[in-house]
Structure 1
Amino acid sequence: MLSLSQALKHYFGYDCFRPGQEPAIAAALANRDVVAIMPTGGGKSLCFQLPALLKPGLTVVVSPLISLMQDQVVALQARGIGATFLNSTLGWQEIKARENDIFQGKTKLLYIAPERLLSPKGLEFLDAVKEKVGISSLAIDEAHCVSEWGHDFRPEYRQLGSLRRRYPDIPILALTATATQRVRKDIIQQLSLRNPEVNVSSFNRPNLYYEVIPKQKQSYAQLLQLIKRQKGSGIIYCLSRKKVEEVAFRLQKDRILALPYHAGMSDAERTENQTRFFQNEVQIIVATIAFGMGINKPDVRFVIHYNLPRNIESYYQEAGRAGRDGNPSRCTVLFGWGDLRIVNYLIDQKENPQEQRMSRQQLQKVVEYAEANECRRKMQLSYFGERFIGNCGSCDNCCNPKPTEDWTIEAMKFLSCVARCEERFGMNHIIDVLRGGVGKKIEQYGHHLLSTYGIGKDKTVDEWKNLGRSLVFQGLVDETADGYSVFKLNAQSWEVLKRQKQVFIPVNSAPQTSTRKFEADSLLVKLRSVSKQITKQFNDFTISDLTLKLLAQKPPQTLTEFQKICRLNTQEIPDSYSQLFAEIKQHLVQQNSFIPESLPDTPKYSHLLTLDLHQQGLNLEEIAHQRNLRPSTIATHLAELIAQKMPVDLNRLVKVEHQLLISSAIKEVGSDSLKTIYEYLNEKCSYSDIKLTLALWRQQHIK
């Protein structure tokens, strides 16, 4: 009989096992339940494939994606291994032929989707296989889908727990690349695993370089430059199908070989584009998360997240598709605050309140990751419960480190406050107590009477947040992950409190944190640009750079606040200043910072998507095509945006001569009816042109 090493060489051609593979395989051969957590590219598939070849009977592999099971079967068959799949791409004759091969013992591994497996016919077939051939094991690939605490929960996976009751003697192997400690426990519970061998390999991918870059206003141009600096294949991840199509289209126009990939495409289109990418016919695949699990292209040299990832787990998995061959690769996130609005909108669509809470908490972790000054590798590994000393030398924060300061005293104050609040509260409440805040919640729990109340007034909210995050990343305090962020003290927390451990944290030299400074700097650049344009239009317009800085540092939410900062004594805002205020309003929308009571006319989400495409240079028809809407609908969006004084460039939408014709017509027949103006002009101008020009006319003439 072959030894494990000999079997590995014989069947797969490898000389040695990767970390974590051998103990998982040994446990599987001993008919034990197994939970194997291995990073992307860590070789988790081998943990059920090799035992399947060494044990009698059939190994049934539950796989969530057709492309994933097909890829693995093709790779196994190329090695002469009897493997097959059953899914919706097959006709009934092909299914029958494959089932016959299984009954004749020609097949060692069967890949099947959970829905098909758990159907009455699927279970009936499995019963017959067990009786005639035998089932050596049940392998649940991408097992994190079982857990509602995971990043890709699928209800049909939850039902796999019934397999233990139906087949109590068959060992179950659960495998995934990403699972926090809570998810691992949930997998064991949901699948009813019995004393499983739990094998958690290191999540560290030392060949990957991690960086976060602030997204610029001209984000596509920024993306293009990043791509041009890279060599080899790359993946660009976007949040929406439309953004995928847009980015792929623009890259093609700029002579970059790129193809889209998203769930809205047909199976044939996705398969063709994926194949062309795998065969290096194109350099770039632009994709949503539909381009996901099981993607086994070893030479991806870079992964760029054009939009903010939804959670750390999915980011780790998506970024981990780079450098599976072990060679240096780059993982970049373009961090724009406008993406938060989009992700929050997507979260709002979830019907389950608990899922919404979980998703918002996971999103907050991504924001903390993007903002932080800590080693990014350390932050990722800390999220999965793995300790890492930091200073990896392969992330932007380690290669360009911030200065560190001794914050041991402040850490003691923070942790002491956590203890006195009975470890029942999260970041914001702890900081409110430390800074002597007032509010119903503090009085309700009597926290204004605590000895830690008000002892942190000397530090800003952002400084305390920086400390709190750093304590979590360094493992000096724990934080719950069940939808409610609550701090819990651990053994290292008490070492700090007893002065047995010092706390050093990276700090910004500027008084503001990276978030606030980034926002202020970004807005200041916009305001300076707008003020230059206004100066060319209005001779009497003058505004100092100091005033612009004040507007950027504390953007006014209302006209009254705006007039006060600009020292405008007039009751109505002059036209010259209205453009400036409109730019601030747009910035606040992107930061999700509007106060509805103060500004009831904030644009709708759909309108903002239209505005974004308009500002990227697309015309009315192109926007309609991108959004799959009628041009008349887009014209209505833009007209309403003009009415709300948002920065819409009418000259790019309507010819100047048409604007003049329409303005003259309004003077003659009034502004009450589009049809009247249309007929007065003998149909020379379109309804869209009239609607847009009329919107600007009303904004300028009707107060």
Structure 2
Amino acid sequence: MPLAALKNVFGYDRFRPGQHDIIQAILDGAHVLAVMPTGAGKSMCFQIPALVLGGLTIVVSPLVALMEDQVAALKLAGVEAETINSSRSRDSNVAAWRRVASGQTRLLYLAPERLMTARMIAALQRLPVRLIAIDEAHCLSRWGPSFRPEYESLTRLGELFLGVPIAALTATADAATQRDIVDKLFAGAGKVFVSGFDRPNIHLAVDARTERNRQLLDIVRAHPGESGIVYCLSRDKTEKTARLLCENGYRALPYHAGMDAAERTHHQKIFMDAPGVIIVATIAFGMGIDKPDVRFVAHTDMPGSVEAYYQEIGRAGRDGEAATAHMIYGLDDVRMRRMFIEQENTADDHKQREHKRLDALIGYCETPGCRRQTLLAYFGETTAPCGNCDMCLNPPELHDASDSARIALGAVEQSGQIYGAAHIIDIVRGAKTQKITSAGHHALAAYGAGAETPKERWRSILRQMTGAGFLRLDVAGYGGLAITSKGRDLMAGTEIFQCRVERHGITAQNRKTNGKTSGVLADLNDEERALFDALKSLRRELAHERGVPAYAVFTDRTLAEMARKKPTDIDAFSRIHGVGVSKVRDFAATFLGEIAHAE
């Protein structure tokens, strides 16, 4: 029964890894938490049970745009789906509710704050609710990367809808977040399915910040004509970065919470529908964004945790093709993130955990080994070196820099462990600044002890020492460096400091590959590629007419298979991957005509 729905409605012959077991558990009536990597098909895990169970499935989603896109895609597949949300007129919402109340609708998408009103709960309790699905479920946990207070009210769903299975789905949950979700939603009684976190098609790279704008432009130049997301820490930086990209010939649009909601929605729609658009955003953008052909995600500032980083880079390469995740970061990012944690109105144990999470991300940035191994180890997975990160493709040169590190530690200790990296560098290089003179630091033993080492190299040494745990940033002391117990061991000669020689920049040669992609376009010859491009243009027109994202009509994989197999009749067209019964009815004649015209 589930497999028949998969084929008839969505046009797929088999489930992806992990999907069938989750679906079966839901059909058996169990509460389920599914942790699956982005692009692994989480939505299908509740959409198929919704079709098999009948009645009504409630889908909780955090973003209006995401709800609208999923409903549009389901309707194109012939599924009766609705959303009631704040972007629609009252008349439109009333009409949608009438279809829900009449039993016509299979899936109803709602934001948590709309679902949990007394009036909506009372109305839904009168209907045959068979399943509740909570998308982006990490929003429910204070341990997750993007806690949303309105999600906490969802913990009452189990008692409000007794006997109704609840499916919580996310791509981003470490063990602590998983336990928190299960305890809150299912009182500890749910089944947990973790399908793995690896996204092998994403090339991982990190650069120390030297010239932010030049470094960002290098990243973007490696992706000519391709869609991407650039994440910035502040609204102001978002606006300035979008202008920078536009001035350099790219179509870039800002997106942040300070913009008018209509303008944000407009920019997101352009990004979803038009090719080659770069969105420059704060973390206000991206949750649940289902654009399959995002070729790069760039961070101009360090995210807050490994989970937040994993979630944000997960928007790249959802089609399985090669994509890049590139971060630019510096010690200032670490100081800023520490300060954010300290300024939160949370308990000390929560702050301590957040500092440890940030430590894990710093470790990822500073690792001299495979980045994917470091990233997956955080989520409890082990893997061989990936061959698709900057460390694997271009292994760093390491050397023993313990003597330089001891000079730095001496300067930190002798100056009172209250000064930041810039002043420590001035001390060791023997700079003649007003600050050094007034503090008397020209008389320190460490003064001038590292004068022969360039300033940029000292910046790298101090940052790597912080990342490796020899120094810590004292947030309360406005970014002052302090010596850790590990640093004391280094001063005593019982530890060594292996320093990496910095490399900067990204090239087209090292950003893609090594057979790490699904290669849906790789085996198309010139004639087939021309037909694929023609089918993409047709898809864009049809999507525009219907007001839906292009991928909701057909994915690139489906178009590539059409270009390769060139179906000549409806029967052959219906056997193409991703072509269900409804799409045969709506699109077969149009696409068959385009294919015949190309012959």
Distance apart, 1:594 and its partner CA: 9.7
Alignment-derived partner of residue 350 in structure 1: 344
Asked if 1:562 is matched to 2:442, the reply is: yes
Match of 2:202 among 180, 197, 208: 208
- Which residue identity is paired with 2:125? D
Task: Tell me the distance in 2 between the aligned counterparts of 1:73 and 1:352.
Answer: 37
Distance 2:60 2:267 in 1: 25
Contact 2:427 2:442 in 1 (8 A): no
- Structure 2 residue 301 is matched with structure 1 residue 307: yes
Partner of residue 320, structure 1:
314
User: What is the SS of the residue equivalent to 2:37?
Assistant: coil
**1:283 matched to which residue of 2?**
277
Note the C-alpha offset of 1:557: 10
Separation (CA, whole Å) in 1 of partners of 2:215 and 2:165: 51
Q: Which residue identity does 1:105 align to in structure 2?
A: G
Give 1:222's aligned residue: 215
Q: Deviations over 1:254-295 (max 9, x none)?
A: 222110111111221111111111223553110111112111
Say yes or no: does 1:67 pair with 2:65. Answer: yes
1:255 equivalent among 240, 246, 249 = 249
Letter in 1 for 2:439: L
Equivalent in the alignment of 1:375: 370
Q: CA deviation at 1:196?
A: 2.9
Structure 1 gap segments, 5+ residues each: 404-506, 521-529, 531-544, 569-579, 600-703
Whether 2:333 is the aligned partner of 1:333: answer no
Identify which of 128, 133, 137 aligns with 1:139.
Answer: 133
Residue 222 of structure 1 aligns with an amino acid whose one-letter code is Q
- Seen in structure 2, the aligned counterparts of structure 1 residues 558 and 74 have a Cα distance that, compared at 3 Å, is farther
Query: Which amino acid is 1:42 matched to?
Result: A
Matches within 5 A, 1:481-520: 508-511=399-402
| Structure number with higher relative contact order (C-alpha < 8 Å, ≥ 6 residues apart) | 2
Aligned to 1:270: 264
The Cα of 1:6 is off from its aligned counterpart by 2.5
Partner-residue secondary structure (3-state), 1:210: strand
The correspondence of residues 382-461 of structure 1 with structure 2, limited to 5 A, is: 382-388=377-383, 390-402=384-396
Match of 1:188 among 176, 182, 185: 182
C-alpha separation in 2, matches of 1:13 and 1:549: 66
Specify the code of the residue in structure 2 equivalent to 1:199: F
Report matched runs for 1:93-242 at 5 Å: 93-129=91-127, 134-192=128-186, 195-216=189-210, 218-231=211-224, 232-242=226-236
Name the aligned partner's letter for residue 112 of structure 1: L
Q: Tell whether the 8 Å contact from 2:31 to 2:186 is kept in structure 1 after alignment.
A: no
CA distance in 2, matches of 1:122, 1:387: 45
- What residue number does 1:57 align with? 55
- Larger Cα-atom Rg: 1
For the residues of structure 2 that align with 1:562 and 1:239, how far apart are their CA atoms? 37
Is 1:296–2:293 an aligned residue pair?
Answer: no
Shift of residue 69 of structure 1? 1.2
Amino acid at match of 1:104: S
Query: Structure 2 vs 1, CA of residues 516 and 325 (structure 1 numbering), >3 Å: closer, same or farther?
Result: farther
Letter in 2 for 1:511: S
Cα gap change, 1:108/1:273 in structure 2, threshold over 3 Å: closer, same or farther?
same
Letter aligned with residue 343 of structure 2: Q
Q: Match of 1:226, SS?
A: helix
Is the 1:557–1:595 Cα contact (8 Å) retained in structure 2? no
Retained in 2: the 8 A contact 1:276–1:282?
no
| Residue in 1 that maps onto 2:414 | none
Cα drift, residue 70 of structure 1: 1.4
**Aligned partners of 2:31 and 2:446: how far apart in 1?**
69
**Partner Cα separation in structure 2 for residue 123 and residue 254 of structure 1:** 51
TM-score, length of structure 2 as denominator length: 0.68
- For the 8 Å contact 2:171–2:311, the answer to whether it is kept is yes
Distance 1:514 1:96 in 2: 68
Say whether the 8 Å CA contact 1:308–1:333 is kept in structure 2: yes
Q: What SS does structure 1 have at the residue aligned with 2:98?
A: helix
Corresponding residue of 2:9: 11
**How far off its partner does 1:5 sit?**
2.4
> 1:503-531: CA deviations, max 9, x gaps?
xxxx64443799999xx9xxxxxxxxx9x
Q: CA deviation at 1:68?
A: 1.6
Secondary structure of 1:94 counterpart: helix
Answer yes or no: is the 8 Å Cα contact 1:172–1:193 preserved in 2: no
Alignment deviations for residues 123-153 of structure 1 (CA, whole Å, 9 cap, x no partner): 1111122xxxx01111111111121211112
8 Å contact from structure 1 (residues 547, 565) kept in 2: no
User: Do the aligned partners of 1:27 and 1:34 also contact (CA within 8 Å) in 2?
Assistant: yes
Amino acid at match of 1:122: M
Task: Tell me the amino acid that sits aligned with residue 561 of structure 1.
Answer: H
Cα distance change of structure 1 residues 167 and 370 upon mapping to structure 2, 3 Å threshold: same
Instruction: Compute the displacement of 1:371 (Å).
Output: 1.0
Preserved CA contact (<8 Å) 1:248 1:259: yes
Contact 1:550 1:565 in 2 (8 A): no
Amino acid of the residue matched to residue 140 of structure 2?
Answer: V
**Preserved CA contact (<8 Å) 2:407 2:446:** no
Superposed CA RMSD in Å reads: 3.3
Per-residue deviation at 1:10? Answer: 0.8
**3-state SS of paired residue (1:377):** helix
Residue aligned with 1:128, SS: coil
Cα distance in 1 for partners of 2:11, 2:329 equals 42
Give the aligned residue type for 1:81: V
Give % identity: 41
Shift in CA distance, 567/86, structure 1 to aligned 2, threshold 3 Å: closer
Counterpart contact for 1:209–1:331, Cα < 8 Å: yes
Match of residue 417 from structure 2 = none
2:339/2:475 contact within 8 Å kept: no
The residue aligned with 1:658 is none
Distance in 1 (alpha carbons) for counterparts of 2:101 and 2:390: 55
- In the alignment, the residues of structure 2 paired with residue 316 and residue 515 of structure 1 have an alpha-carbon distance, to the nearest angstrom, of 35
1:360 is the counterpart of 2:240: no
Say if 1:558 and 1:598, in contact at 8 Å, map to a contact too: no
Q: Return the alpha-carbon distance in structure 1 between the equivalents of residues 124 and 214 of structure 2.
A: 54
Map 1:554-593 onto structure 2 (within 5 A).
559-562=439-442, 564=444
Q: Deviations over 1:215-264 (max 9, x none)?
A: 11x21122112211223111111111111011001211222211011111
Q: Distance in 2 between matches of 1:512 and 1:47?
A: 56
For structure 2, list consecutive stretches of 5 or more residues without a partner in the other structure: 412-421, 449-454, 464-471, 481-599
